[in-house]
């Protein structure tokens, strides 16, 4: 009898596993769906013995083609979706061990309603669950736009999202990773336990295999970053795995840090007559106490895109601004101090007026459901951009949306925004700019109308990448590099940096068999 962990020959039934949200399509010969670490190890070992390359997959929500296979075998980890335990430390910190296929939305829902399957949990985990039920509500803080992302995928690309302005990216919340190498060997790394010696690392697998290597010598940018291997001296070696995009090993277990939910929350959507006013508001809002959880930006193109599609049922209940409003900023405030919270709301209203916005037209929500409605405003822009390209692809199949994931130092934000607008005005491309402006991390989405615009748009993004790197920024702040942005990573770290990354990969994966094509060409 065939089990879900056995190799299956690719058929038309597996068409959905040949692509991810990048809209790129690949091919493979076989696929397997392990449900346990032992099955995962066996699958990797079997693929290695046959000389097959392996593409690791999670929930297929990535937009850089990192999970798109180009030959060989697919290991899809979606069936490794168990929550294995819950622990409470003596200082009151809750940690949870999950398999990589657990979905973010499912995890946070279970943390809300406590509907956990505790089969196989030890007594300590059951006791921790009882403690959590009587404690303050808790949550897992990272919040990428796609809530159906898997935890393993989020760790693989160090995903973040809007609330990373306060809570940081996924890396901040990972305490342990148990990994499986291409030959089936298993190892585990704990935050604070396994450290590099300068830039030298030394790991011993459970079966005694030694992994030694050198951490790349490039200097990482001082901005929100998800580009290539994390690399500093005397670092937690676990951070090499976070953001490695499946190129070093497969994850079998991940320990997550849970945080208490904030007692007080508010979402504020403010409108501005011009972009300069909106940016001035952002610059002042960054300095608020308590620090905002999120600061999100929408340019005139984004607002016009929503207006043009106002009749779409997807936009029902979304507060689409009237004509005459050029830009919008969404601010989310979290606090456990009521006085500070009230003062932050009052100060935000003052800043809207002082920077040229209309405080009276701003929309504020403090109820969780109303806040979620405002957050839908944030998600609606990329959704409408994807819909627009989807319609155009019906007649021009070779085009896709072209999106940037650049972040720059705060001092360079205004100049980079002007560079984006100037280039688009010169080329005549249709585009929208939106995103995590609190971190000076906005997405430029170019919406090509023909193949010529698609080709010129790709060239423009490479030119911007060079400019961003020169300013001390990153080519990918949250989505990773995958197979699509390999040239951008090379522009960021140069030939030497890429060579050092390849050498590190070889230490973990001597035959370069896992996720080939991600991060760099082989």
Residue 394 domain flag? yes
Give the number of other Cβ atoms within 10 Å of residue 406's Cβ.
27
Residue 384's closest CA among 461, 308, 478? 308
Residue 485 lies in a domain: no
- What six digits make up the tokens of 471? 């300013």
Q: Which of 52, 48, 60, 1 is nearest to 30 (CA)?
A: 52
CATH of the domain at 235: 3.30.465.10
Check residue 2 and give its pLDDT: 43
Structural domain contains residue 490 = no
Is 15 in the same domain as 51?
yes
pLDDT of residue 145: 84
Sort strands 30-32 and 73-76 into parallel, antiparallel or unpaired.
parallel
CA 474 to CA 409: how far, in whole Å? Answer: 9
Token output for 143: 């919040």
Assigned domain for 121 exists: yes
Residue 489 lies in a domain: no
Name, in order, each residue with C-beta under 8 angstroms of 185's C-beta and a sequence gap of 6 or more. Answer: 41, 205, 206, 207, 209
- 91-137 pLDDT per residue, tens: 999 999 999 999 999 999 999 999 999 999 999 999 999 999 999 99
Looking at residue 336, which CATH number applies to its domain? Answer: 3.30.70.2190
Question: Do residues 328 and 401 both lie within one domain?
Answer: yes
Q: Are residues 343 and 194 in the same domain?
A: no
Question: Tokens in use for 325?
Answer: 């409003």
Tell me whether strands 363-365 and 327-335 are parallel, antiparallel or unpaired. unpaired
Q: Which of 514, 515, 507 is nearest to 486 (CA)?
A: 515
The number of folded domains in the chain is 3
Copy the structure tokens of residue 148. 């159906």
**What is the residue-averaged pLDDT of the chain?**
96
Q: 29, 59, 76: which is the final residue of a domain?
A: 76
Distance between CA atoms of 420 and 431, rounded to whole angstroms? 10
Is 494 within the bounds of a domain? Answer: no
The pLDDT tens digits for 506-518 are 999 999 999 999 9
**482 and 61 in contact (C-beta within 8 Å)?**
no
pLDDT in tens, 15-48: 999 999 988 899 999 999 999 999 999 999 999 9
Is 110 found in the same domain as 72?
no
The answer on pLDDT for 4 being more than 80 is: no
In a domain, residue 481? The reply is no
Q: Are residues 94 and 193 in the same domain?
A: yes
Lowest-confidence region among 142-151, 212-221, 334-343: 142-151
**Rg (alpha carbons) of the chain, rounded to whole number:** 23
Residues 299 and 171 in one domain: no
- Same-domain pairing of 110 and 244: yes
Which value, to the nearest 10 degrees, does the dihedral of the CA atoms of residues 78, 82, 84, 89 take? 80
Claim to verify: residue 232 and residue 273 sit in the same structural domain: no
**Residue 466 three-state SS:** helix
Place of tokens 């990535």: 62
Number of other residues whose CB lies within 10 A of the CB of residue 395: 8
- Distance CA(246)–CA(249), nearest Å, equals 6
Query: What is the pTM (predicted TM-score) of this model?
Result: 0.95
* CA dist., res. 116 & res. 290, Å (int): 33
Residue 372: the pLDDT is: 87
- DSSP H or E stretch at residue 97: strand 94-98
Given 425, 444, 470, the domain boundary residue is 470
| Paired residues of 251 in beta bridges | 179
CA 479 to CA 459: how far, in whole Å? 20
Please check whether residues 152 and 215 belong to one and the same domain: yes
Mean pLDDT value of segment 481-495: 96
Dump the DSSP string for 222-270.
SSS--SS----TT-BTHHHHTTSTTSS-EEEEEEEE-EEPPSEEEEEEE
Token pair 């610059």 is found at 283
Question: Pairing relation of β-strands 54-57 and 73-76?
Answer: parallel
> Is the CA virtual torsion 251, 252, 255, 260 positive or negative?
positive
Category of 490 on φ-ψ map: left (φ > 0), alpha (ψ -120 to 50) or beta: alpha
Same domain, yes or no, for 275 and 396? yes
Which residue range(s) make up the domain with 52? Answer: 8-76
pLDDT > 70? residue 156: yes
Q: Identify whether 56 is part of a domain.
A: yes
Residue range 386-413: average pLDDT?
95
List for the chain the helix, strand, coil content (%; round to 5): 35, 20, 40
Together in a domain, 87 and 48: no
Mean pLDDT score, 3-13:
84
pLDDT tens figures, 44-69: 999 999 999 999 999 999 999 999 99
pLDDT of amino acid 5: 60
The pLDDT of residue 29: 97
| Helix (H) or strand (E) run with residue 8 in it | strand 8-9
Q: Does the bond joining 299 to the residue before it have cis omega, within 30 degrees of 0?
A: no
Rounded Cα gap, residues 377 and 362, in angstroms: 14
- Domain boundary among the residues 25, 43, 76 is at 76
């Amino acid at each position: 009898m065939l089990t879900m962990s056995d190799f299956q020959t690719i058929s038309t039934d597996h068409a959905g596993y040949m692509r991810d949200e990048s809209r790129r399509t690949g091919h493979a010969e076989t696929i397997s769906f392990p449900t346990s670490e032992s099955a995962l190890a066996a699958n990797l070992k079997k693929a290695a013995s046959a000389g097959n390359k392996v593409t690791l997959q999670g929930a297929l929500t990535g937009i850089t083609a990192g999970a798109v296979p180009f030959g060989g075998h697919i290991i899809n980890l979606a069936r490794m979706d168990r929550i294995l335990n819950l622990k409470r430390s003596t200082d009151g910190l809750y940690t949870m061990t999950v398999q990589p296929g657990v979905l973010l939305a499912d995890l946070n829902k279970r943390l809300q309603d406590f509907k956990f399957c505790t089969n196989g949990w030890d007594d300590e985990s059951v006791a921790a669950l009882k403690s959590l039920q009587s404690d303050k509500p808790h949550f897992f803080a990272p919040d990428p736009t796609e809530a159906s992302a898997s935890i393993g995928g989020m760790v693989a690309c160090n995903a973040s999202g809007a609330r990373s302005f306060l809570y940081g990216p996924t890396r901040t919340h990972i305490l342990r990773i148990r990994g499986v190498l291409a030959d089936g060997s298993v190892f585990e790394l704990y935050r604070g336990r396994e450290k590099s010696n300068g830039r030298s690392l030394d790991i011993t697998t459970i079966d005694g295999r030694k992994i030694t290597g050198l951490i790349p010598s490039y200097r990482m940018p001082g901005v929100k970053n998800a580009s290539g291997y994390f690399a500093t001296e005397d670092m937690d070696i676990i951070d090499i795995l976070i953001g490695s995009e499946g190129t070093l090993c497969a994850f079998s277990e991940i320990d997550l840090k849970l945080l208490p939910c904030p007692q007080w929350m508010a979402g504020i959507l403010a409108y501005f007559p011009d972009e300069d006013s909106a940016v001035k508001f952002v610059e002042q809002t960054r300095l608020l106490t308590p620090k905002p959880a999120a600061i999100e930006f929408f340019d005139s193109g984004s607002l016009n895109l929503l207006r043009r599609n106002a009749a779409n049922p997807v936009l029902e209940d979304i507060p689409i601004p009237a004509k005459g409003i050029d830009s919008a900023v969404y601010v989310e405030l979290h606090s456990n101090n009521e006085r500070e919270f009230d003062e932050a709301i009052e100060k935000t209203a003052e800043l809207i007026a002082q920077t040229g916005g209309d405080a009276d037209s701003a929309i504020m929500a403090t109820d969780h459901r109303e806040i979620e409605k405002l957050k839908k405003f944030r998600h609606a822009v990329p959704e409408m951009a994807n819909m627009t390209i989807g319609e155009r692809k019906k007649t021009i199949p070779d085009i896709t949306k072209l999106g940037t994931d650049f972040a720059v130092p705060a001092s360079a934000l205004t100049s980079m925004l002007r560079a984006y607008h100037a280039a688009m005005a010169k080329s005549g491309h249709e585009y929208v700019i939106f995103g995590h402006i609190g971190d000076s991390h906005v997405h430029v989405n170019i919406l090509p109308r023909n193949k010529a615009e698609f080709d010129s748009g790709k060239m423009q993004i490479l030119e911007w990448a060079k400019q961003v790197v020169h300013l001390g920024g990153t080519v990918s702040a949250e989505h990773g590099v995958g197979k699509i942005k390999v040239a951008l990573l090379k522009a960021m770290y140069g030939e030497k940096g890429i060579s050092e990354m390849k050498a590190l990969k070889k230490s973990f994966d001597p035959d370069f068999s896992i996720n080939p094509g991600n991060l760099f060409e082989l």
